[in-house]
Amino acid sequence: MRLIIVGAAGRMGRTLVRLIGESEALSLSGALEREGSPALGQDAGTLAGLPPLGVAVTDDPLPLVVEADGIGDFAPPDPSLALAALAAQARIVHVIGTTGFAPEAEGPLRAAARHATLVKSGNMSLGVNLLAVLARRAAQAFPDVDVEIVEMHHRMKVDAPSGTALLLGEAIAAGRGVSL
């Protein structure tokens, strides 16, 4: 599977590039970063601590999308929305780990999902998604219990509340039959 990694110079992006570089089933077909990034033009493998993979970091997604089977995206919301539209046009998979979308972004994401497979989650961890299911069930079982979500992050955390906190909040609200 040929994958594009968005935010390839970031912490998650470098981790994904490294995992793809070590995989026999996956290949890195593109590495995207924002316009003006100091990583532009550098080899994505080198940035990830691997030998060069022959994939230069770019800020132009269009030539990459036509050659890819999927996109792994941990970029800010605005580029993610634009990439969802491109994924829909190319009919490729778009995995979105981006958080902090404005409520009005749901419409364009749903429109893109009619033509491409979109997977979007506030947290990609199996354990956290299991916790969300359990939180929903607990909220149903204990409707009168007050719930508070408290979170702590490293100093580099970009969005607050985090996607994880929102995922858990949505699960609890769904369990209670209310809107978050």
Residue 73 CB partners (closer than 8 Å, separation 6+):
6, 7, 79, 80, 83, 94, 95, 96, 97, 98
d(CA 103, CA 32): 25
Sign of CA dihedral 160, 162, 163, 165: negative
pTM: 0.82
Q: What mean pLDDT is predicted for residues 50-76?
A: 95
Q: What is the pLDDT of residue 156?
A: 75
- Looking at every residue in the chain, the average pLDDT score rounds to 93
pLDDT reading at 51 higher than 80: yes
> Per-residue pLDDT averaged across 4-24, rounded?
95
Q: Which residues are catalytic?
A: 153, 157
pLDDT band at 123 (very low <50, low <70, confident <90, very high): confident
Average pLDDT value for residue range 109-128? 92
The interaxial angle of helices 77-90 and 106-113, nearest 10 deg, is: 20
